[in-house]
């Protein structure tokens, strides 16, 4: 029961992050919002887990640091900024649907780059998932707004970056503690974005609402969510825990509706169903497959 509650809580938290961007960015700007999110997250994770290289053998620290820097920038700074911009050009729910394609990109890269075995169900899943993306890209209305292809491209680039970094972590950082990877990634993202954030300070004092949104993004949607996710990985296994991705778009649509009266379109709902069905097949997910 506790695992199910934490699973739903994680989807609720990660879904909220898309809507919270729409609260903070208009007052703080995108660079400062995303930068502060990662600064707060890295501070919290450092306080709880300590320095990420502390448990790494001295002879391995150079290699681990190199991959933490590369994969950390690709899994935090770059996609966080891209999805924040996607949200502002579309809606929370629309951006979350694009985010849900990250496991598809990971599976596709595993096949193309690392020559992983491809079952028929995985082939079907990849085709089905990207067919859902095509539906979303073709029918891009969000209420009265016609979303541009630039927003779609930004979101898919962010998802592809996540997918690539999943493969890098799996192959290059598999022997590093998950808590150290999460801490290192947040710290790298914060250091990468801090200079940009400091050159984009607002010319007026932000409201308490905007500051609260950033605090929740950093401490809850990033630090707490990472801790919950790695607890679930330990209990359920990586594949079953990754299926939390399936619930993020519905929760993001719910938060977008509650906070901004955003209404999901039929195209968004249909593409979500197709993308998530394809993702389930591409991951080899089956009912009862978790530990």
Contact 151, 89 (CB under 8 A): yes
Residue 62 CB coordination number (10 Å): 10
Residue 288: inside a domain: no
Residue 289: inside a domain: no
Residue ranges in 219-265 assigned as alpha helix (H): 225-236, 238-242, 248-260
Query: Both tokens of residue 197?
Result: 């954030």
- Cβ neighbours for 180, distance < 8 A, ≥ 6 positions apart: 49, 52, 53, 54, 55, 56
User: pTM for the full model?
Assistant: 0.91
* Cα–Cα distance for residue pair 140/151, rounded to 1 Å: 10
- Cβ neighbours for 31, distance < 8 A, ≥ 6 positions apart: 81, 193, 196, 197, 199, 200
Element (H, E) at 269: helix 266-282
Residue 210: inside a domain: yes
* Cα–Cα distance for residue pair 31/47, rounded to 1 Å: 24
* Residue 141, strand partner residues: 146
* Residue 142, strand partner residues: 145
> What integer pLDDT is reported at residue 237 of this predicted model?
64
Residue 167: inside a domain: yes
**How many structural domains are present in the chain?**
1
> What integer pLDDT is reported at residue 94 of this predicted model?
92
Q: Which residues of the chain have pLDDT under 70?
A: 141-145, 237-240, 285-291
* Cα–Cα distance for residue pair 262/19, rounded to 1 Å: 10
Residue 287: inside a domain: no
* Cα–Cα distance for residue pair 275/155, rounded to 1 Å: 14
> What integer pLDDT is reported at residue 284 of this predicted model?
74
Residue 291: inside a domain: no
Residue 274: inside a domain: yes
> What integer pLDDT is reported at residue 290 of this predicted model?
39
> What integer pLDDT is reported at residue 126 of this predicted model?
92
Residue 107 belongs to domain spanning: 2-282
Residue 199: inside a domain: yes
């Amino acid at each position: 029961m506790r695992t199910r509650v934490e699973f739903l809580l994680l989807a609720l938290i990660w879904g909220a992050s898309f809507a919270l961007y729409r609260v903070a960015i208009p007052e703080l700007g995108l660079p400062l919002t995303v930068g502060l999110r990662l600064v707060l997250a890295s501070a919290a994770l450092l306080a709880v887990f300590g320095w990420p290289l502390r448990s790494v053998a001295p002879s391995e620290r150079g290699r681990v640091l190199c991959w933490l820097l590369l994969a950390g920038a690709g899994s935090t700074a770059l996609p966080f900024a891209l999805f924040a911009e996607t949200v502002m050009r579309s809606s929370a729910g629309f951006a979350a649907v694009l985010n849900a394609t990250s496991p598809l990109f990971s599976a596709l890269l595993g096949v193309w780059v690392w020559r992983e075995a491809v079952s028929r169900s995985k082939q079907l899943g990849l085709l089905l998932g990207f067919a859902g993306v095509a539906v979303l890209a073709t029918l891009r209305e969000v209420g009265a707004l016609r979303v541009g292809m630039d927003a779609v491209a930004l979101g898919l680039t962010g998802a592809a970056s996540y997918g690539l970094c999943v493969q890098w972590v799996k192959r290059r950082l598999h022997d590093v503690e998950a808590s150290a990877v999460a801490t290192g990634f947040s710290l790298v993202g914060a250091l990468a974005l801090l200079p940009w954030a400091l050159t984009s300070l607002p010319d007026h004092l932000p409201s308490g609402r905007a500051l609260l949104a950033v605090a929740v993004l950093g401490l809850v949607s990033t630090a707490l969510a990472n801790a919950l996710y790695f607890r679930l990985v330990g209990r359920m296994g990586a594949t079953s825990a990754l299926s939390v991705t399936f619930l993020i778009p519905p929760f993001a649509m719910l938060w977008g509706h509650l906070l901004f009266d955003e209404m999901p379109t039929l195209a968004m709902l249909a593409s979500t169903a197709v993308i998530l069905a394809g993702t389930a097949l591409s991951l080899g997910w089956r009912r009862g497959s978790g530990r």
